[in-house]
Structure 1
């Protein structure tokens, strides 16, 4: 029971929570932190054309976690039964009682210390099962932020990825869908989750793009985190490679453009993948959204000198298939008046 009560004023001073003052300070500047996002109806309509028409059934968070737990439990039970001839024991009723108490605390949590029983969850081998008892879908947004801090710091990368994908991402998407904006604490949770960039990309960004159902509003809000945070080039390169190779949906252009605008020195393999990403649209008969043209322009501006002459010719040819009255002339100008990577010391000359 002690684990469920906040500690006294003098207790546990080494674990004093330093996050809240900075969170409050950030709240004073929360103007653009997941606030109300104005979305152009035309852009939204264009993005919807490229959404997955038959998305996979969206299950609730509890369904996903329970399925994973059952699958793992069955696997472990079978292994243990084979070794010892005895089935795996169920959770101790006292443990259940403690974590049901934690659930009550987290469903009303606003600020202050978290129960110690919750802080030790990342150290448990059956952390997903314990997490399920606390009902993450019932946590307050402030509790989700604190949980993300704890899990991103203490879980291994693969486990953090599962937490981001099964707990944080569904909550963020539901919040945006319901309120047309993202709660400040959930926005800060997404920023804090970037503490493990690989887990963030694999658990949040890539699944969001692969779902084919990412809305313009979701892409703008989650994309703003990419703009504000510093991300190592290797993680961003891997994400760009993955997004460039996956089936296109409108939101992919937003995330690619934001990553391109970070002006990384990209490996040629990633630059080539981005070129093939654009060239794949030569046979696409649909009218592409402005977001696609903006992404193409950003790519031409940042990486024009990392392209070979053949790639430039192919991209210029692409402009004949898909053109935009304002953006395409800019792209053409960038590609034509720049050096190519396959000729050393070459002066920029106009290409035919």
Structure 2
């Protein structure tokens, strides 16, 4: 049995769907008409093959409770590792405006110049942009679905003003572009459109809208583009705070990533300039327990050894990431690597984590060494005393006649 309130919602939704079916049957437009593209859309409505999107509620709960994972003391400590002199990140609008101004000196003074395209095309996609600003659910315009196949897809996308799209429109756009663009083009969409929008939403609301969170999950459909368009630019900016790391990191936790892409991401993060929250993502990728190539393992060791002479107090997450690394890959470390890590732990100490790391290093074999199946743990004591026999001490056997 369901409650009366839920029952009424189901009936109301069923009535709305029935009304839409009747409207389509009678040839009337069902809410996708907008400005100058109303007639064009009606012409193509019958041949459209677009999934009807139910949408996400504005009050739908975000995934997970981020506040529980964010400690204020850790957040303040990590701020010491963030870059201070970093300008605002580039968006698609910034890139297109710069390109237009370089090619045409006449529009250099305009704040938002328009690319040189056909006037009807400009009007069409400006109308699409107005529709996407208020989009909540339903069918997407067919004109928008054609953008990935266009040669000047960035210029056309710029006309729709992606910075003003609704969160649900951003999810639909990510879904379309992740499926229809190549890895390089998808990377540009993620870096110039999706990432700035996600970071702005987290900055304004201290949380991430559910539709934008789902957009990040959908973006992992192309893991190479996700790494180059979301993960690496986030850390190259030098301003990734703990809240952003926890939210984006939860996507990596929940979605399966191919081992090759995960290894590349781990190696690149280890080689990048450290910004505090880098350790959070290194720990996440290490805990996926992939069989990493030796090159990646060596890169992670080199990452930690860079802090040998660092006088700053390292955050707890740094020690936790080192512990996770030693726990997972202790048998793949060389003897000199373990000796170097022991020297590192003399300068970078944590009263709870460091003893655990030392214990893992002491109770593990080195790279290339095989476990000897004949060697038993020291806790098992076996008595191998030889049995002494006297060949003349033969017991008497009774004979039949006795």
TM-score range, shorter chain: 0.7 to 0.9
Of 331, 336, 345, which aligns to 1:319?
345
The reply on whether 1:50 has 2:81 as its aligned counterpart is yes
Q: Which residue of 1 aligns with 2:28?
A: none
- Contact 2:126 2:159 survives alignment (8 Å): yes
Deviations 1:111-131 (A, max 9, x none): 011111100000000000001
Q: Which residue of 1 aligns with 2:144?
A: 118
**Any unmatched runs of 5+ in structure 1?**
75-88
Q: 1:35 to 1:324 in 2, by over 3 A?
A: closer
Q: Which residue of 2 aligns with 1:108?
A: 134
Deviations 1:305-333 (A, max 9, x none): 11111111111111101010000001111
Deviations 1:244-266 (A, max 9, x none): 01111111000100000111110
Taking the TM superposition and a 5 Å limit, the aligned residue runs for 1:37-116 are 39-59=70-90, 61-68=92-99, 90-116=116-142
Q: d(CA) in 2 for partners of 1:31 and 1:90?
A: 41
Alignment TM-score, normalising by the size of structure 2: 0.76
Q: 1:45 to 1:289 in 2, by over 3 A?
A: same
Q: 1:46 to 1:218 in 2, by over 3 A?
A: same
Of 216, 236, 245, which aligns to 2:242?
216
Q: Which residue of 2 aligns with 1:16?
A: 51
Q: d(CA) in 1 for partners of 2:377 and 2:341?
A: 17
How far has the Cα of 1:202 moved from its partner? Answer: 0.2
- The structure where helix makes up a greater share of residues is 1
Indicate the SS of the match to 2:290. Answer: coil
Q: Relative contact order: is structure 1 or structure 2 higher (C-alpha 8 Å, sep ≥ 6)?
A: 1
Taking the TM superposition and a 5 Å limit, the aligned residue runs for 1:1-352 are 1=37, 2-4=39-41, 11-12=46-47, 14-17=49-52, 20=54, 30=61, 32-33=63-64, 39-59=70-90, 61-68=92-99, 90-345=116-371
Deviations 1:68-117 (A, max 9, x none): 5666x68xxxxxxxxxxxxxx93111111110110110000000111111
Residues paired across the two proteins, number: 328
Larger gyration radius, structure 1 or structure 2: 2
How far has the Cα of 1:53 moved from its partner? Answer: 2.0
Let me know the Cα RMSD of the aligned residues: 2.5
Runs of 4+ in 1 over 6 A off after TM superposition: 347-350
- Contact 1:337 1:348 survives alignment (8 Å): no
Q: d(CA) in 2 for partners of 1:122 and 1:229?
A: 25
Deviations 1:269-294 (A, max 9, x none): 00000011011110111110111001
- Contact 1:66 1:132 survives alignment (8 Å): no
**Any unmatched runs of 5+ in structure 2?**
1-36, 105-114, 379-402
